[in-house]
C-alpha cells in the first residue's frame, strides 16, 4: 500500500505526526453539458457573496491528503452527487444499478475509515478541514479514533452555549497574542492577531480551544478555529492547520495538469474510474517526490517531476525514431510509422 511506502520513507526521519486534510473541490464543465451523470449544477462557495449565490455546472469531489514532515500524498478522492441528482438518475436505472446518495460528510468518513484501518499504531494524527465539514458528528468520530481535530468554524457555532461571534465581542478588551506564519507558496511571513478561550463545542463532548484570528487589529471579519488538543498553543495549532495547503495543490494538479475534469464519459461509474486513473498519476508524482527527498534531502516540486517525466517520454520516442531510421534507411516509412493515425491523415 502507498501509505505504508510513505511511512517507510519517513521512518528514518523519526516522523510520527500526521496531518490529515479534508477538502472538496468544484470543477467546471461547459454550461451546455447535460448528459454526463457526474455533472450537475453545484453551489460555488468561492464565487458566491452575501445574498448573491452562484451556481456552476460541473463536478464536485472530496479529497483526503496525508502530510507528514516533507512527505505527503493524496490518499483518496470521491465523486459527490447531489441527492436530487441521484434521484433523477435512479429513475432511468434498474433496481440492481441504482446509485446511493452519500453526503460529503459520509464520503469524508468513508475515506477516514479506510485510513484508520491501514494506519499502524503509534502515530499522532491531526485531522484538519474547513468549516463546510466541521460537523459535530465528524469531530466526534475523529475523537473516537484517538485523533485530534483542528478546523475552521462558522461564526454562529456555539461554544459554551454561546455563539462564537458573541464571545469575540466579550473578549474585545483581552490582549491579543501575535502568531507568525510563513506561507507555503511564497515563503512570506505574516503576523496575525489572535485571542483564545476554552469551552464545550455544541454536540461535541469535552472542551475545545477556540481561536479568533485577525489579519490586523481592526479586522472586522475574523476567522474562527477550534482545536481539540488543549496542549497546543495558538501558534502550534495554526501552523498545523496551515499544512492543509498541499490539498489545494492536489486540486491544481488534478484539474489543470492531469486532466481529471476532461472526462467525456456518460455513466457515473465510468467517470469514477477516470478519477481513479488521475489519482494514480498524481500518486506516482508524489511518490517520486518523496523518494527524491529521501535520497538527496532536496525538495522537488510536482511541476519539476512532471516536466522530467515528460522529457523522459520524449527522449524515449526520439531514440526509437532514430533507431528505426538507422535500421531501415527509409525516411518516409519512419514518418508513416510514427505519425498519428485516422483523424490526422487529412492534414
Q: What average pLDDT does range 317-323 have in this prediction?
A: 88
At residue 64, the pLDDT reads 96
At residue 213, the pLDDT reads 95
At residue 69, the pLDDT reads 82
Whether 181 and 239 have beta carbons less than 8 Å apart is answered as yes
Q: Is the pLDDT score of 330 beyond 90?
A: no
- Angstrom distance (rounded) from CA 136 to CA 141: 8
Q: Is the pLDDT score of 133 beyond 90?
A: no
Residues 6+ apart with CB under 8 A from 184: 242, 243, 245, 246
- Angstrom distance (rounded) from CA 263 to CA 252: 16
Residues in the chain: 347
Q: Is the pLDDT score of 90 beyond 90?
A: yes
Q: What average pLDDT does range 55-80 have in this prediction?
A: 93
Model confidence band, residue 116 (pLDDT cutoffs 50, 70, 90): very high
pLDDT digits (tens, 9 = 90+) for 13-57: 888 899 999 999 999 999 999 899 999 999 888 777 778 888 999
Q: What percentage of the chain reaches a pLDDT higher than 70?
A: 98
Q: Is the pLDDT score of 226 beyond 60?
A: yes
Lowest-confidence region among 50-59, 140-149, 227-236 = 50-59
User: What's the chain's Rg over C-alpha atoms?
Assistant: 24
DSSP E strands, 12-166: 17-28, 40-43, 55-68, 71-80, 124-129, 148-153, 158-159, 162-163
Q: Is the pLDDT score of 347 beyond 50?
A: no
Quote the mean pLDDT of the chain. 90
Q: Is the pTM of this model over 0.85?
A: yes
Model confidence band, residue 342 (pLDDT cutoffs 50, 70, 90): low
Higher per-residue confidence, 69 vs 163: 163
pLDDT digits (tens, 9 = 90+) for 147-206: 999 999 999 999 998 999 999 999 988 999 999 998 876 778 999 999 999 999 998 988
At residue 53, the pLDDT reads 87
Q: Give CA separation, 181 vs 3, 153, 191, 250, in Å.
A: 28, 19, 6, 21
Q: What percentage of the chain reaches a pLDDT higher than 90?
A: 65
At residue 212, the pLDDT reads 95
Q: Is the pLDDT score of 344 beyond 70?
A: no
- Angstrom distance (rounded) from CA 216 to CA 201: 26
Q: Is the pLDDT score of 340 beyond 90?
A: no
Q: What average pLDDT does range 53-73 have in this prediction?
A: 92
Amino acid at each position: 500500500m502507498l501509505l505504508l511506502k510513505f511511512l517507510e520513507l519517513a521512518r528514518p526521519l523519526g516522523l510520527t505526526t500526521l496531518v490529515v486534510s479534508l477538502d472538496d473541490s468544484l470543477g467546471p464543465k461547459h454550461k451546455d453539458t447535460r448528459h454526463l451523470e457526474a455533472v450537475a449544477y453545484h453551489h460555488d462557495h468561492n464565487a458566491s457573496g452575501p445574498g448573491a449565490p452562484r451556481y456552476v455546472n460541473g463536478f464536485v469531489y472530496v479529497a483526503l491528503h496525508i502530510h507528514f514532515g516533507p512527505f505527503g500524498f493524496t490518499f483518496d478522492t470521491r465523486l459527490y452527487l447531489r441527492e436530487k441528482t441521484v434521484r433523477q438518475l435512479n429513475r432511468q436505472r434498474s433496481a440492481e444499478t441504482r446509485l446511493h446518495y452519500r453526503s460529503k460528510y459520509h464520503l469524508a468518513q468513508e475515506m477516514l475509515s479506510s485510513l484508520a484501518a491501514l494506519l499502524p499504531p503509534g502515530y499522532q494524527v491531526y485531522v484538519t478541514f474547513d468549516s463546510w465539514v466541521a460537523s459535530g458528528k465528524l469531530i466526534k468520530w475523529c475523537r473516537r479514533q484517538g485523533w485530534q481535530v483542528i478546523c475552521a468554524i462558522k461564526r454562529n457555532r456555539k461554544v459554551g452555549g454561546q455563539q462564537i461571534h458573541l464571545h469575540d465581542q466579550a473578549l474585545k478588551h483581552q490582549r491579543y497574542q501575535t502568531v507568525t506564519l510563513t506561507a507555503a507558496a511564497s515563503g512570506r511571513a505574516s503576523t496575525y492577531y489572535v485571542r483564545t478561550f476554552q469551552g464545550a463545542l455544541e454536540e461535541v463532548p469535552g472542551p475545545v480551544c477556540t481561536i479568533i484570528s485577525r489579519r490586523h487589529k481592526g479586522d472586522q471579519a475574523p476567522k474562527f478555529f477550534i482545536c481539540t488538543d488543549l496542549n497546543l498553543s495558538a501558534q502550534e495549532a495554526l501552523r498545523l492547520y496551515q499544512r492543509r495547503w498541499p490539498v489545494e495543490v492536489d486540486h491544481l494538479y488534478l484539474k489543470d495538469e492531469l486532466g481529471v475534469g476532461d472526462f467525456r464519459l456518460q455513466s457515473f461509474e465510468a467517470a469514477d474510474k477516470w478519477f481513479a486513473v488521475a489519482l494514480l498519476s498524481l500518486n506516482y508524482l508524489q511518490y517520486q517526490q518523496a523518494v527524491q527527498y529521501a535520497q538527496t534531502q532536496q525538495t522537488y516540486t510536482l511541476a519539476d517531476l512532471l516536466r522530467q517525466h515528460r522529457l523522459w517520454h520524449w527522449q524515449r520516442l526520439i531514440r526509437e525514431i532514430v533507431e528505426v531510421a538507422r535500421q531501415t534507411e527509409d525516411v518516409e516509412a519512419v514518418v508513416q510509422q510514427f505519425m498519428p493515425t485516422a483523424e490526422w491523415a487529412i492534414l
